[in-house]
């Protein structure tokens, strides 16, 4: 859950490293640092706090060089201090490394290194790796009675990796091989940018945009040696690897704020476009179905599937809950949604006709990846719904569906959620038309889906009204979010958004479950947010609203345009377009996203970089 950047070439490395860390700050922002080959030594500049503080420190204390590595941290071991910031030196400064991941056996390795005389200056697991590499390099120099070479440095890295248990993405500088960066990955992503007489390295592609369009995604257990004159990749068990160079198709505008004050607001307002992108080329009106190009599973195989398991974490799990309702209603396939963190350690009965879908924005979520690998190991077809092209889950799944939502920089996911729900609706249509869904029903769904970008545009017009409501309620410290059927997952997602960026306690429930415990929380200090658009059981939810009002609880309602009954009961109401029940999560999520955004601003919170959170959870 950290960001790594690296460079070898002819540019002034500090500028690239700092710009790259700014772009990666959503992955971790407790502290940041860079290490640069400057003359005959490795010079480190690092600071606790945001990348901006590091930039000012480097401006006041400049360091020049053409080769370097950088890191922005999300703490796993040790407090947020200058000493615990990366990069870390190994030995007496002959090695410097940055690391993303968790080393599970670091404590025993640390004790052994201390017995050998190594002095630790931090509480991190990373410093263990740095000292181990320095130790193995020194041992080789004694045996060979020679100066360090690229080959001996590579052996030191491999010998160290042999001792590590856990996950890592590593990037290493060597004082005595000043034109070389060595990187390795096991469970933590690294991507290499290929230029002319230069190479870039990063945890994801965002720092590479504008510098190169050619990238190589490093696979697990691969180690790469980067020098201005070339790149060599080897798998640690199978040997030399011929790199597969892919084209990076993002444009720099995708990661620029434009006229928006925050990425979260920008990404909320991008949703008409991202939903349109998720639909583009996937609607077959002639056959009244959806079309997918990358499932890599035949229609005959899909017709034999008798169970679907959707596995995900966080917001993606909420999208999966909507997907469960969609798949069971339209495709009539029994569907379960599993927390990936639980599924990876469980052994549930799953027959040979179970299809597993991993849902993830980043494609690097550690628990989701581990759950998918476990299901794959047991022979189940594993597909992914993913946003990041070339990510580990996208590459390791048997097939899948890309969201095409563009980079999502804000830590609190917004556009990815609605894109995931859109893709799951397409999937339900696709599987439904293979089974029980009629041609006219398929045509109706396609017509309604095509109208959704415009409906989302309409929903976004609630922005000013939501701002007024947020101003009224931003001082409250507890909220209930309540919905039924398709809108129950929306209630969960709305509560999560408020918790994530406003640090306000909120709970989501099915509205009918309120009477089974949560109603005890209702008083004049606990507003209830009801998602109550028109539908078959709307009268039931309205009754729940009346119960809250009877107990002096404030009621905020999301309702369909012109719904006077809801407006009469609620203290505050925000209207969204009237759409079919199965599409209501798309329009109802919008005001909840905006509400959390404005409450966070009014409470003085950092909207894009909420405390304790990182965008891509690549550690367990």
Please state, in angstroms and rounded to a whole number, the distance separating the CA atoms of residues 265 and 596: 11
- List strand residue ranges (DSSP E) for 327-389, in order: 335-339, 354-360, 382-386
Query: Cα 295 to chain center, whole Å?
Result: 22
Please report which residue ranges of 327-462 form alpha helices under DSSP H: 340-343, 366-377, 392-396, 415-434, 439-450, 452-459
Residue 166 pairs in a beta bridge with 103
Please state, in angstroms and rounded to a whole number, the distance separating the CA atoms of residues 20 and 5: 6
Annotated active-site residue 615? The verdict is: yes
What are the structure tokens assigned to 522, written together?
Answer: 């209702």
For helices 415-434 and 439-450, the axis angle rounded to 10 degrees is 160
**How far are the Cα atoms of 7, 69, 131, 176 from residue 35, in angstroms, in the given order?**
11, 5, 16, 14
Report helix, strand or coil for 187.
strand
Report helix, strand or coil for 333.
coil
Buried-state track 484-518, b at ≥16 Cβ within 10 A, e below 16: bbbbbbbbbbbbbbbbbbbebebbbbbbeebeeeb
Please state, in angstroms and rounded to a whole number, the distance separating the CA atoms of residues 341 and 244: 31
Please state, in angstroms and rounded to a whole number, the distance separating the CA atoms of residues 551 and 523: 6
**Candidate list 266, 415, 497, 615, residue with the active-site label:** 615
Please state, in angstroms and rounded to a whole number, the distance separating the CA atoms of residues 159 and 473: 57
Check: CB of residue 344 under 8 Å from CB of residue 370.
yes
Check: CB of residue 486 under 8 Å from CB of residue 582.
yes
**How far are the Cα atoms of 64, 353, 383 from residue 304, in angstroms, in the given order?**
62, 7, 16
Q: Are strands 41-48 and 67-73 parallel, antiparallel or unpaired?
A: unpaired
**Candidate list 2, 313, 462, 605, residue with the active-site label:** 2
**How far are the Cα atoms of 440, 494, 509 from residue 476, in angstroms, in the given order?**
48, 16, 19
Report helix, strand or coil for 82.
coil
Buried-state track 257-294, b at ≥16 Cβ within 10 A, e below 16: eeeeebbbbbbbbbbbbbbbbbbeebbeeeebbbebee
Residues annotated as part of the active site: 2, 615
């Amino acid at each position: 859950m950290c960001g790594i950047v690296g460079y070898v070439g002819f540019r002034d490395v500090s500028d690239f490293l700092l710009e790259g860390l700014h772009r990666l700050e959503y992955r971790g922002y407790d502290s940041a640092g860079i290490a640069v080959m400057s003359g005959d030594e490795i010079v480190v500049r690092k600071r606790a706090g945001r990348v901006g503080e590091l930039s000012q420190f480097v401006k006041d204390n400049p360091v020049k060089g053409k080769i370097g590595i950088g890191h922005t941290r999300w703490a796993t071991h040790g407090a947020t201090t200058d000493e615990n910031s990366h990069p870390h030196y190994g030995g007496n400064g002959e090695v410097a490394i940055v690391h993303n991941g968790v080393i599970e056996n670091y404590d025993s390795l640390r004790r052994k290194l201390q017995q050998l005389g190594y002095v630790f200056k931090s509480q991190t697991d990373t410093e263990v790796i740095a000292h181990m590499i320095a130790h193995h390099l020194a041992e080789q120099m004694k045996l060979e009675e020679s100066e360090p070479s690229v080959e001996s440095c590579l052996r030191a890295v491999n010998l160290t990796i042999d001792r590590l248990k856990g996950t890592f993405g590593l990037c290493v500088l060597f004082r005595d091989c000043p034109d070389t960066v060595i990187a390795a990955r096991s469970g933590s992503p690294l991507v290499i940018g290929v230029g002319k007489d230069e190479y870039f390295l990063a945890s994801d592609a965002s720092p590479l945009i504008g510098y190169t369009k050619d990238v190589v995604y490093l696979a697990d257990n691969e180690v790469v040696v980067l020098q201005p004159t070339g790149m060599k990749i080897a798998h640690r068990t199978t040997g030399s690897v011929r790199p597969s160079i892919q084209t990076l198709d993002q444009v720099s505008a995708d990661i620029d704020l434009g006229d928006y004050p925050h990425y979260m607001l920008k990404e909320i307002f991008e949703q008409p476009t991202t939903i349109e992108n998720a639909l583009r080329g996937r609607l077959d009106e002639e056959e009244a179905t959806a079309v997918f190009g990358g499932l890599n599973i035949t229609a005959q195989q899909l017709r034999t599937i008798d169970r679907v398991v959707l596995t995900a974490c966080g917001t993606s799990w909420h999208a999966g809950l909507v997907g469960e309702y969609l798949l069971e209603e339209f495709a009539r396939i029994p569907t379960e949604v599993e927390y990936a963190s639980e599924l990876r350690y469980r052994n549930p009965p799953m027959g040979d006709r179970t299809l597993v879908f991993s849902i993830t924005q980043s494609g690097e979520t550690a628990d989701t990846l581990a759950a998918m690998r476990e299901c794959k190991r047991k022979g189940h077809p594993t597909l992914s719904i993913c946003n990041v092209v070339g990510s580990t889950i996208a590459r390791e799944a048997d097939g899948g569906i890309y969201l095409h939502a563009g980079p999502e920089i804000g830590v609190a996911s917004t556009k990815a959620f609605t894109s995931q729900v859109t893709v799951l609706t397409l999937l339900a249509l696709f599987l439904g038309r293979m089974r029980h869904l009629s041609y006219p029903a398929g045509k109706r769904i396609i017509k309604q889906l095509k109208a959704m970008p415009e409906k989302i545009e309409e929903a976004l017009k609630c922005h000013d009204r939501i701002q007024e409501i947020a101003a009224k309620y931003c001082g409250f410290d507890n909220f209930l979010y309540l919905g039924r059927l398709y809108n129950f997952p929306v209630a969960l997602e709305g509560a999560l958004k408020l918790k994530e960026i406003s640090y306000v306690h909120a709970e989501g429930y099915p509205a009918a479950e309120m009477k089974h415990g949560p109603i005890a929380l209702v008083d004049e200090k606990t507003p209830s947010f009801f998602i109550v658009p028109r539908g078959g059981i709307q009268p039931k939810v309205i009754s729940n609203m009346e119960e809250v009002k009877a107990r002096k609880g404030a009621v905020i309602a999301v309702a369909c345009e012109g719904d006077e009954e809801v407006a009469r009961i609620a203290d505050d109401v925000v209207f969204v377009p009237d759409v079919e029940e199965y599409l209501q999560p798309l329009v109802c999520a919008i005001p909840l996203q905006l509400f959390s955004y404005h409450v966070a601003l009014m409470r003085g919170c950092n909207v894009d970089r909420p405390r304790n959170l990182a965008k891509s959870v690549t550690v367990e």
